[in-house]
Every structure is written in C-alpha cells, then in structure tokens.
C-alpha cells in the first residue's frame, strides 16, 4: 500500500468500453481531491478496444489497468484489489455513475477505522418513457434500497450487492476476497456476504454514498444473466447450505402453486424450445401490452432462473424445480 493513498476504486469490466469511459469521466468530478484516490480497472479479457481507451483517456486521478484472460467478475475484482494501493477498496461495476460526493461518503463511513463493509445506494438512472424493463428493474431496486434504509433493519446476505461497496483492503484479503470459482454471472457477492457476516463484520448501508446504475440491457440479455444466476445459486447452496433454505422459502412465497406447476411443465421442454417460447411471450407483451409486464416479467425471470438451476444440477425435470437444489448430504459439505 501507498501510505498517503486513502482510497482505491476497483472497476472490473468486460467488453463495455463506452460504459467504462462514462464512469471514468464521472470520477473526474468527485468532491474528494484527485490526489486522495486512485482507480484500478481490471479488464476481464475484453476485446472491444477497452485497453486502447485506457491508453488514451486523460484524467486528473491516478489511473492504472491490468488485462487478463476472461475468468469472471470475481477473479477480476480480486486481481484489481491486489494491484490497488489504498487502505480502503471501493468496488464499482462499470455501468455505475457515481455522484460527486460518493467517494467522500464512503471514506466518511470508514473514518473511525472500525472493521465494516459499506454499501452505497444504487438507484437506476431515470427510465425514459416506454422503457418498461428498466422501469420494472428500477422499482425492484428502489424497494430493496427502501428496506435497507429502515432504521434497525437487520441485513441478510441476500441484501448484499457489490456494485457500490467499500471495505478495508486488509480485511478484504483476510476474508479471502471474492471466490474466483464463481465464474458465471451472479452470487459471488452473496457468497462474500456470508463470509463477512460469519466473521462478525457488520455490513452497513450508507445512502449518501450514491452511484446510479445506467442499465442498458434488453430482456434477452437479462434472461441470460438470470440463467447464470440460477447456475451460481446451486454453487452458492453447495457452499452455504443455509442459502438453500432461504431461497426455497422465499420463492415458495413469491409464486403461486398454479405458476409453479406451469413452470415445471415448461422446464420439462428442451431448454431451447422453452426459452424461445418465453422470449416470444415477453416480446409480445412488450410490444402490445406493456402495462401487463409487471406481472409477466417476474414469471419469465423465474422460469429462466430455474432453467439455470436445472442446467447446473443436470436434472431433466421435477414435479417442483426447487427440489433440484437439494444436493445429497455429502455434496452439501463442499466448501
């Protein structure tokens, strides 16, 4: 570490040159002086000109980058953290837009030097009219942020996100960092949260440390991410069996028995056919019945999640897909 460097911003990125340029420019206008922080970009195998961008862009803060073969976000975060020189690590996803006070707010939340992890607020950039998917996702995120803002709320690992997250560098590595075995999208942050909490380290929400999300994916891309979240949910449940219980109970409460039966039938179809049918259904509603999407999106995403579960477990079909997460007793001891 560099003794006079207070904060290292770590940004993992994969083939998102334009989004990366946007966050790097946003970091120019922080209220925290440029001499007090650095930015480390961890390029996870990008081939879209990201490396060239970093060689051309001029910013007032210290900017460094490393390129490595694609190995997933968790490994990219760890690689960036190892290169970082600050006492405090702040992780951003490359689609974030930090408010000018964001970095200073994270530092203030750690001012007393106590061992803690800090989550900043991550609302969406306001959706344009006629963007139902972004409106839907924005409402979900706002619900989570409102819950975290409640006085006395007891945070769970599933509340945790690492797209705007700070922690002491030494503590991060003491906890083992992110688990690089999570290569597909999703749940590497929940896994870290389990370990943070098991170590007795508090996770606090600091709404003043605000960075907005510039979400630009369509539903097909979100569906792919959701399939991967189903796959990594199996991985998470094998590592943390308690995650299986909370996941199954939550989904039992969210969805009706009628839908769970229909979903089971859909999962009995070949994955390509079931996926095509669901994407066609969503496209139909997006074009003709956008007001109904608040009901359609959750069902479609639930299908894609359990499609990922089925893929990870090798199960063909089951009366209730939740059962496919229940690994044999010996498998549950895997760490």
| Number of continuous H segments (helices) and E segments (strands) in the chain | 12, 9
- What per-residue confidence (pLDDT) applies to 253? 67
Identify the weakest region by mean pLDDT among 139-143, 160-164, 267-271, 287-291. 287-291
The reported pLDDT for the residue numbered 41 is: 98
* Residue 43 φ/ψ, nearest 5 degrees: -90, 115
* pLDDT cut 70: percent of the chain above it: 89
253 burial type by CB count under 10 A (0-12 exposed, 13-18 middle, 19+ buried): exposed
How far apart CA 170 and CA 154 sit, in angstroms, is 25
Tokens 């970009």 belong to residue:
41
pLDDT at site 148? 96
Q: With 50 as the cut, is the pLDDT of residue 320 above it?
A: no
The pair of structure tokens assigned to 70 is 């694609």
Judge whether 86 and 61 are in contact, CB under 8 Å. Answer: no
Residue with tokens 């369509």: 218
Q: Could you give the residue range(s) of every CATH 3.90.550.10 domain in the chain?
A: 7-216
pLDDT value of position 252: 61
Confidence of residue 317 (pLDDT cuts 50, 70, 90): very low
> What is the mean pLDDT of the segment spanning 167-185?
96
pLDDT attached to residue 313: 86
Mean pLDDT of all residues in 157-164: 94
How many degrees, rounded to 5, is the angle at CA 73 between CA 67 and CA 75?
Answer: 65
Q: Is the pTM of this model over 0.85?
A: yes
Helix (H) or strand (E) holding 68: strand 62-68
Q: Greatest CA span in the chain, whole angstroms?
A: 60
Where does 175-292 have alpha helices with state H? 188-198, 219-239, 241-254, 257-267, 271-288
pLDDT tens per residue across span 97-124: 999 999 999 999 999 999 999 999 999 9
Are the CB atoms for 246 and 92 separated by under 8 Å? no
Alpha-carbon distance of 10 to 184, in angstroms, equals 19
Read off the pLDDT band of 85 (50, 70, 90).
very high
Q: Is the pLDDT of residue 169 over 60?
A: yes
Percent of all residues in the chain with a pLDDT value above 90, rounded to a whole number: 81
With beta carbons less than 8 A apart as the criterion, state whether 69 and 38 touch.
no
For the chain, state the CA radius of gyration. Answer: 20
Instruction: Give the Cα-Cα-Cα angle 232, 195, 306 (nearest 5 degrees).
Output: 20
Tokens of 179: 């688990």
Q: Other CB atoms closer than 10 Å to residue 142's CB: what's the count?
A: 14
* Average pLDDT for 182-200: 96
pLDDT of residue 314: 79
Residue 12 above 90 pLDDT? yes
State whether CATH 1.20.140.70 applies to domain 7-216: no
| pLDDT value at residue 325 | 39
Nearest-angstrom CA–CA distance, 325 and 315: 10
Q: What is the pLDDT of residue 291?
A: 85
54-64: average pLDDT: 94
Q: What is the pLDDT of residue 54?
A: 92
| 319 C-beta neighbours (distance < 10 Å), count | 9
Give 264-279 as a 3 state SS string: HHHHCCCHHHHHHHHH
* 326 pLDDT tier (thresholds 50, 70, 90): very low
Q: Average the pLDDT over 207-221 and give the result.
A: 95
Question: Can you tell me the mean pLDDT for 150-155?
Answer: 91
126: confidence class by pLDDT, cuts 50, 70, 90: confident
- Inform me whether the pLDDT recorded for 26 exceeds 90: yes
Average pLDDT score, the chain? 89
Determine the Cα angle at 195 with ends 190 and 198, to 5°.
125
Q: Is residue 55 exposed (0-12), middle (13-18) or buried (19+ Cβ within 10 Å)?
A: exposed
Per-residue burial over 284-304, b if 16 or more Cβ lie within 10 Å, else e, is ebbeeeeeebeebbebbbbbb
Residue 158, pLDDT > 60, answer yes
Provide the pLDDT for residue 246.
60
Averaged pLDDT for residues 136-157: 93
* Per-residue model confidence (pLDDT) at position 316: 44
Strands 37-44 and 62-68: parallel
């Amino acid at each position: 570490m560099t003794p006079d460097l207070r904060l290292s911003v770590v940004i993992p990125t994969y083939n998102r040159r334009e989004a990366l340029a946007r966050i790097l420019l946003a970091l120019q206008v922080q209220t925290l002086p440029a001499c007090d922080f650095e930015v480390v970009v961890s390029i996870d195998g990008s081939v879209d000109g990201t490396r060239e961008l970093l060689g051309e862009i001029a910013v007032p803060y210290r900017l460094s980058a490393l390129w490595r073969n694609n190995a997933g976000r968790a490994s990219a975060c760890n690689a960036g953290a190892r290169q970082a020189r600050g006492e405090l690590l702040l992780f951003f996803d490359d689609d974030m837009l930090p408010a000018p006070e964001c970095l200073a707010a994270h530092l203030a939340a750690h001012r007393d030097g106590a061992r803690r992890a800090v989550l900043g607020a991550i609302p969406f950039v306001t959706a344009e009219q006629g963007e139902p998917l972004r409106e839907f996702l924005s409402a979900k995120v706002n619900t989570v942020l409102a819950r975290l803002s409640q006085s006395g709320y007891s945070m769970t690992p599933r509340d945790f996100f690492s797209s705007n997250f700070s922690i002491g560098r030494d503590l991060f590595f003491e906890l083992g960092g992110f688990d690089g075995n999570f290569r597909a999208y999703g749940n590497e942050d929940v896994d870290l949260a389990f370990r943070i909490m098991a170590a007795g380290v508090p996770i606090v929400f600091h709404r003043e440390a605000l960075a907005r999300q510039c979400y630009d994916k369509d539903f097909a891309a979100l569906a792919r991410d959701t399939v991967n979240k189903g796959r990594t949910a199996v991985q998470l449940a094998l590592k943390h069996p308690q995650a299986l219980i909370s996941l199954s109970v939550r989904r039992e409460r969210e969805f009706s028995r009628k839908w769970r039966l229909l979903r089971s039938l859909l999962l009995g179809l070949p994955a390509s056919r079931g996926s095509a049918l669901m994407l066609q259904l969503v496209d139909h509603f997006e074009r003709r019945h956008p007001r109904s999407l608040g009901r359609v999106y959750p069902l479609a995403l639930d299908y894609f999640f359990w499609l990922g579960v089925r893929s990870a477990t090798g199960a063909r079909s089951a009366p209730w897909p939740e059962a496919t997460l229940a690994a044999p007793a010996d498998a549950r001891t895997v760490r």
